[in-house]
Amino acid sequence: MTRAELIEALTKKFPFQSPAEVDSAVREIFEIMIETLSDGDRIEIRGFGSFEVRVHEPRIAHNPKTGEQVQLSKRRVVHFKPGVELRDRVNTVASK
């Protein structure tokens, strides 16, 4: 699902809100999430899951095509851990 599809689905679910208002709300939610993660804070949405920033230390890796060694610098990556309800619902649908 793309952001545009999400906005369309929310507009159908909440017809009293204009598409522009829904778009603004979705963009603001994402912006707040980005700011929170950029600050190194964790986001937890009960029933859905949690987002946190993890640090990958610098290391030497290998290019799989050439075998050449590549130096990877220290970097921060976003990690998502699904909540129990999300995991259960996805697995229920998958088993049908």
Mean pLDDT value across residues 10-32: 95
Distance CA 26, CA 6 (A): 9
| Whole-structure pTM value | 0.78
* pLDDT at residue 96 greater than cutoff 70: no
CATH number, position 9? 4.10.520.10
Close Cβ partners of 81 (under 8 Å, ≥ 6 residues apart): 49, 50, 52
Distance of CA 54 to the CA centre of its chain: 14
* pLDDT at residue 18 greater than cutoff 70: yes
* pLDDT at residue 26 greater than cutoff 90: yes
Q: What is the pLDDT of residues 29-75, one digit of tens each?
A: 999 999 999 999 999 999 999 999 999 999 999 999 998 999 999 99
Residue with tokens 């619902």: 89
Q: State the residue range of the domain holding 68.
A: 3-94
pLDDT at 77: 96
Q: What is the pLDDT of residues 76-86, one digit of tens each?
A: 999 999 999 99
Question: Quick one: how many helices (H) and strands (E) in the chain?
Answer: 3, 5
Q: Quote the number of domains for the chain.
A: 1
